[in-house]
Amino acid sequence: MNVEVRDLSLRYGEVTALDRLSFELAEGKIYGLLGRNGSGKTSLMSVLAAFRKQTAGAVRVGGRPVWENAAVTSQVCLIRDTGETVDLGTAGDALYFAEWLRPHWDARLAKELMTLFGLKPKVNVTSMSKGQRSAMGVVVGLASRAPLTMFDESYLGMDAPSRQAFYDVLLADYMEHPRTIILSTHLIEEVSPLFEEVVIIDEGRLVVHEERERLLDRGNAVTGPAAAVDAFVGGLTVLGEKVLGPTKSAMVYGEFDDAHRRKAAEAGLDLGPIAMQDLFIHLTGGPK
């Protein structure tokens, strides 16, 4: 399902969590939602899932308003950072309620994922470890097959092998059953290979909405003799520098055309990629 956000604002008393946010997400892609703590990521996903009503602006999913619209919210699944939020009984009960709520539910996939993550249907959800609750959320989110599925840091409690298993299953199931998936994460380098597009927000406002590869193309590491590097990056946006003896490496933000690349080659400089995380830090204002 596609997502349309127009002049979206959300306030908690005097605190503005989302500030006139506008963007559109086409259906059938995996999106990365990035932002610092307190940037408004969770607030945005809560509005998209109709967990909260916006203060101003409009939100449409599949062309229809979300708030108090059961026909739309049944097509949306948000798994929050606490993992599965159904605390009414056992893991089996959680799956029962999820199946009841989700018209696209895949019971076979849910069973396979329960086995994959070592979850027992008769174990009470409230007695699970943080990692198990995170895995429970992954099971419900993936098996829901909701046309709009969102994971808000819900896999952070899982260990590295379990997170990798989640990424592998998510990608394989997405390829077989395309839908719109939004992943909010602080594990940028670990998760970013899944993204087709990246949305970055900061202090409730949109900073970047870009295809992943195009965003990465905006960052370059320029390495070579210090004097040559300094001459090349003059007038460019430099994110950071490292010096090792006579050699210097500068991280530069901005697209390089053929002329830039010829100039670098003529100066004996090497150009290399910059990590998504470094670009994110720059675009959200550096260390805070």
Note the pLDDT of residue 221.
92
Distance CA 48, CA 53 (A): 9
Distances (CA, A) of 198 to 4, 34, 206, 283: 16, 7, 11, 12
CATH number attached to the domain at 3-210:
3.40.50.300
**Residue owning tokens 């604002």:** 9
180: its two tokens:
């719109």
80 DSSP 8-state letter:
B
Note the pLDDT of residue 126.
86
Note the pLDDT of residue 120.
94
Distance CA 43, CA 49 (A): 10
Note the pLDDT of residue 287.
52
Strands 237-244 and 270-273: unpaired
CATH number attached to the domain at 218-283:
3.30.70.2020
Q: Compute and round to an integer the Cα radius of gyration of the chain.
A: 22
Where in the sequence of the chain do the CATH 3.30.70.2020 domains occur?
A: 218-283
167: its two tokens:
């990424």
One digit per residue, the tens of pLDDT, for the chain of length 288 reads 899 999 999 999 889 999 999 999 999 999 999 999 999 999 999 999 999 999 999 999 999 999 999 999 999 999 987 655 556 689 999 999 999 989 999 999 999 999 999 999 999 988 888 889 999 999 999 999 999 999 998 888 889 999 999 999 999 999 999 999 999 998 999 999 999 999 999 999 999 999 999 999 888 999 999 999 999 998 888 888 899 999 999 999 888 888 989 999 999 999 998 889 988 988 887 654
Note the pLDDT of residue 125.
87
Distance CA 64, CA 101 (A): 19
Where in the sequence of the chain do the CATH 3.40.50.300 domains occur?
A: 3-210
